[in-house]
Amino acid sequence: MNTSNKKRGAPSLKDPIDILIFEKGLRIKTLFIEKELDLFLVILNNGNLIKSRISVFDKLKNASQEDLLLWELRNEGAGIRWISLDEDLSLYGFLMEATSNAAVDQLLKKNSFVVIS
């Protein structure tokens, strides 16, 4: 999810996540961050939530609650930036992680499978 070391090229029209972001307009609306709970909620403009742990992100896990609240949306909500922490996170990365987690959860259920097309 960290985009500071890797620049994405032009969006691929075949990538379903790029389609959601660049064609359908999915964006980050706001964040809810609670350090004591190690909780990071990304609230999307369609009302859905992506839940993560602050401790997953090296630069965020050692930050104070006050520093964590000093974020700004980038690229009209396609990413998040903490200037004081030198950290950037992308909606693309959050969606990739959520998709991966959902696939693993599905595979761990008894008598289930995932269709990969």
Domains of the chain, earliest start first: 16-95 (3.30.2020.40)
Q: What is the pLDDT of residues 86-103, one digit of tens each?
A: 999 999 999 998 887 776
Please say whether the beta carbons of 21 and 28 come within 8 A: no
Give the confidence band of 14 by pLDDT, cuts at 50, 70, 90.
Answer: confident
Query: Is 36 in contact with 16 (CB distance < 8 Å)?
Result: no
Q: Where are the alpha helices (DSSP H) in the chain?
A: 16-18, 58-61, 65-68, 91-108
Residue 10 has pLDDT above 70, yes or no: no
- Which pTM does this prediction carry? 0.77
pLDDT tens digits along 29-74: 999 999 999 999 999 999 999 999 999 999 999 999 999 999 999 9
Nearest to 8 by CA among 97, 88, 98: 88
